[in-house]
Amino acid sequence: MNSCARACLCLVVFAALTTLAAEPGVASLDEAIASKRDLWGEAALKQTDGPSYEFFEPLLPPLRYVDAPFHHYPITLSAPGAAVKGRLVSNGSVINALARQPNWRGEAGVPVTFRVGNAREEFGADLRRLDGPKYEAGYLPIVQLRYRQEKATYAEECFASVDPDLLSHGAIFMKFTLAGGEAGLVEAQVEAAAPLRRVGGTLAGADGKSLVAFGSGWEFNPSRNTLTARFVAGGVATLVVFTEPAADAPAKVAATYDEERRLAAEVWTRLLDGGMQLTVAEPRVNDAWRSLVVGSYALLKEDDMRYSAGNQYAKLYEAEGGDAVRALLLYGHAADARRMIVPLMDYTRKGLEFHQGAFKLQLLANYYWVTRDVALLREQRARWQKEVDLLVNGREKESGLFPREKYCGDIDTRVYSLNSNANGWRALRDMAAVLADATELGEVEQAERLKGVAAEFRARVLAALEKSVRRDVDPPFVPIGLFGEEAPYDVIAASRMGSYWNIMSTYVLGSGVFRHDSETATGLIRYVQNRGGRFAGQNRAFPEKSFWMEQSNVNDLYGMRYALTLLERDEADAALVCFYGKLALGMTRDTFIGSEGSCLRPVDEFGRQMYLPPNSAANANFLQQLRYLLVQDLDLDDDGRPETLRLGFATPRRWLVDGAEIKVSGAATAFGEVGFSIRSDLAHGKVEAEVSLPARAPSRTLLRFRLPGGWRVESAAAGDAALGVAADGETVDLTGLSGRAVVHATVKRVTAK
């Protein structure tokens, strides 16, 4: 099919897809995009027992395509924290494909393209005949695909070596198997400007460095730089692609495939086992969190938590990188998070100094409350003191605010920024609480001084905000550019500036400069909900046209603070719209890869477009949401020091259907490690929870049983002690208990009147 015919076909398919609705009563895609309200999110809230993956999943094809000649999204292949990273085009067609365009700068490796059958069809060319990509066990980064071509079915598997002698070369191990049919052929073509030389079991360039190593069964054709394997049923062929050419490639490295595979699985499993463990009654969620922890370590470059890999985003960003580090911290990887904090403390970007200083200090404070690691505060004193001094002394005397700063990283317009000021206040308030707690540092006097500065600063920020809020619109408009320099957006995602307001307002909401339950917070949330700011719970966006087929988009990773604020407000089902919208529509199927932004309208029946995947902050978005569905350590009295622990507070009701179980262990919190399990036995009118309470007692500890609709807790006890049950019929007060507590709850089905 030529390019014109393909384009016409795509337009026909595209037009048909945009009018589809998943079921009667659910708005079509066109209707949902055109609405100022989140029609799909609202419909999800009306489902029995609330939002679910099953509701959102059929509404749109999955994320699949990128703006590169290889078209299909790439999967980063890397050992944990490796400096050299390879990648697989996700339909299995190429290792280390090159986009050769500015936004994909930083690509590495020589492309190796795979073709199958006598026709030499690219692996995965026809998505109707492709199964995958999928991960080993659902989450380990051993990628598996199957492709049917003529009468043969080819299985492809690949992974990045974790062997210290090979990971510096970004060695990618590949295995092809004839999984069906009597005979078959696989061809691997190495893209090189000149014929390669066969040196034993490797192919080397003119410099003598190996690009590929191969096992037995491959035939080399120097005129085309191809390796060809001819199969009979069950036949296997292995090869290794070196992303960084190797001068000393072992002669028979491809023959070590099975051992390398075992080692890779072992290393990744050990990494996951070293952190928090959680299991819920939804296998897809269990696979997702594990995959996203793995995916974040794959984007880590030594100690740098990179935003992405193989493109222009393969670098540090302060707030986004901090979110990714905090996610790993919350999932029990404190020692690694400690190392990742240091490069972020050194990071700088001109024109955003106050924004950066605020998020550096907030990350450090978050780390301290989870670890109580005074040693890091001592080691990093010069760095954090520099940022404290900037935030304290950098304010203008007349306004009491920071001087004008860039609206955000992509908008150079200088404004009195509500984001920078709100988060700068939060940073000073939080550091005051940290220094007061970490008495070994001897910074009690500075803690008191910062506490006073923060209180005065907050008053100045809120006074400036009061002068700037536009109350002539309903809901009121909270601007980022203060003092009348930003007008309300009738439809938030109808303009580029509206889209950036949508991002930056979530940072303000998350700062807590106005409380999560305040009138201002409620108004801001209503504004985004009623002015086109959300789609299936995700941040809507209007991006630059140059990289996109069309402009009905979402920037889903920036919805995290919005979702976390909903959880703090105890709006569980509204938060679950964000959670399941992200899981179903904001990451790839089975490989759980997210990006900075994605299209809502499909490219074709198989998928939608995404921008520069993978993305560590997109990983953090889901990981932090899931953690806070289950475990919430909160500062509800607004003094900078967490005092409330809420367990199971926002879990989907389907997770506690009869016979289901939720298990969490090793959850890092501000009070110490926490664990709990909840077993549902509705058939016998009971639910049981076993809770491992933290070493440092919270002021208040609550456990919630979010049972399926119609069920409520009648009574609860821990041993002989009766426990208080809230009027909601699902929240049990554990305050005062310590150590291990077994909670028995009697539950009853309530007939609706």
Q: Are residues 98 and 231 in the same domain?
A: yes
Query: Using one digit for the tens of pLDDT, what is the confidence trace for 696-729?
Result: 999 999 999 999 999 999 999 999 999 999 999 9
* Rounded distance between C-alpha atoms, residue 73 and residue 352, angstroms: 31
Query: Looking at the predicted structure, is the pLDDT value of residue 11 above 60?
Result: no
Q: 600 lies in a domain?
A: no
Structure tokens of 701?
Answer: 């500890």
Residue 435 CA: distances (Å) to CA of 275, 355, 372, 448, 713 = 27, 21, 11, 9, 42
Q: Is 189 helix (H, G, I), strand (E, B) or coil?
A: strand
Write down the pLDDT at residue 752: 59
What string of H, E and C letters represents the secondary structure of 327-379? HHHHCCCHHHHHHHHHHHHHCCCCCCHHHHHHHHHHHHHHHHHHHCCHHHHHH
Output phi, psi for 74, to 5 deg: -90, 150
Q: What is the pLDDT of residue 104?
A: 95
Tell me what pLDDT residue 143 has.
Answer: 98
Nearest to 41 by CA among 528, 537, 502: 537
At residue 544, the pLDDT reads: 76
Using 50, 70 and 90 to split pLDDT, how confident is the model at 4?
very low
Residue 20 domain flag: no
pLDDT of 267? 98
For 316-354, write each residue's pLDDT tens digit: 999 999 999 999 999 999 999 999 999 999 999 999 999
Task: Tell whether 144 is covered by a domain.
Answer: yes
DSSP letters spanning 480-541: SB-TT-S---SSGGGSHHHHHHHHHHHHHHHHTSS-TTSHHHHHHHHHHHHTT-EETTEEEE
* 371 and 256 together in one domain: no
Statement: residue 69 has pLDDT above 70 = yes
**Helix crossing, 560-568 with 616-630: angle to 10°?**
10
How does pLDDT run across 455-468, given as a tens digit for each residue? 999 999 999 999 99
- The DSSP secondary structure of 547-615, one letter per residue, reads G-S-S-EE-GGGGHHHHHHHHHTT-HHHHHHHHHHHHHHSS-TTT----SEEESS-SBTTBEEEES---
- Torsions phi, psi of 214, nearest 5? -140, 155
Same domain for 355 and 260: no
What's the confidence (pLDDT) of residue 556? 86
pLDDT of residue 19: 38
Asked if residue 195 belongs to a domain, the reply is yes
The pair of three-digit structure tokens given for residue 473, joined into one six-digit string: 């619109």
Verify that 240 and 378 share a domain, yes or no: no
521 in a domain, yes or no?
no
Cβ–Cβ < 8 Å for 465, 482: yes
The pLDDT value recorded for residue 13 is 37
Q: In 3D, which of 26, 55, 43, 42 has the Cα closest to residue 580?
A: 55
Tokens at 57, concatenated: 């999943």
Instruction: Summarize the confidence of residues 379-404 as an average pLDDT.
Output: 97
Indicate if the pLDDT at residue 423 is higher than 50.
Answer: yes
Domain boundary among 488, 521, 552: 488
User: Whole-number mean pLDDT of the chain?
Assistant: 95
Residue owning tokens 């199971």: 648
pLDDT of 474 above 90: yes
Task: State residue 25's pLDDT score.
Answer: 84
Query: 511 pLDDT exceeds 70?
Result: yes
The pLDDT > 70 percentage for the chain reads: 97
CA distance 537 to 577: 5
DSSP-based three-state secondary structure for 393: helix
Instruction: Give the span between the Cα atoms of 246 and 168, in whole angstroms.
Output: 9
Q: How far apart are the first and last CA of the chain?
A: 62
In this predicted structure, the answer to whether residue 6 has a pLDDT above a threshold of 50 is no
pLDDT at position 251 is 78
Residues 387 and 480 in one domain: yes
Q: With respect to residue 484, please indicate whether it lies within any of the assigned structural domains.
A: yes
**pLDDT (0 to 100) of residue 658:** 98
Domain stops at, among 235, 267, 299: 267
Mind listing the pLDDT tens digit for each residue in 519-560? 999 999 999 999 999 999 999 999 877 778 888 999 989 999
pLDDT at 23: 63
pLDDT in tens, 270-313: 999 999 999 999 999 999 999 999 999 999 999 999 999 999 99
Q: What are the pLDDT digits (tens) for 621-671?
A: 999 999 999 999 999 999 999 999 999 999 999 999 999 999 999 999 999
pLDDT at 545: 74
| Torsion angle in degrees (nearest 10) through CA of 577, 578, 580, 586 | 140
Distance of CA 726 to the CA centre of its chain: 34
Cα 363 from chain centre = 17
Is residue 12 predicted with pLDDT exceeding 70?
no
pLDDT at 18: 38
Decide if 104 contacts 116 (C-beta within 8 A).
Answer: no
Reduced to 3 states, what is the DSSP secondary structure of residue 265?
A: helix
Task: Encode pLDDT of 107-119 as tens digits.
Answer: 999 999 999 999 9
Number of domains in the chain: 3
The answer to the question of residue 736 being in a domain is yes
| pLDDT tier at 8, thresholds 50, 70, 90 | very low
Number of H helices, E strands in the chain: 19, 37
Alpha-carbon distance of 169 to 195, in angstroms, equals 22
Say if residues 619 and 73 touch (Cβ distance below 8 Å). Answer: no
Per the structure, the complete domain to which residue 241 belongs is given by 73-267
Binning pLDDT at 50, 70 and 90, where does residue 248 land? Answer: confident
In the listed set 267, 298, 314, which residue is the last one of a domain according to the structure?
Answer: 267
Mean pLDDT confidence for 409-425 = 97
Q: CATH number for the domain including 652?
A: 2.60.40.1180
Q: Examine residue 27 and state whether it is found in any structural domain, yes or no.
A: no
pLDDT band at 249 (very low <50, low <70, confident <90, very high): confident
pLDDT grade for 1, boundaries at 50, 70 and 90:
very low
Q: Does residue 364 sit in the same domain as residue 259?
A: no
DSSP 322: H
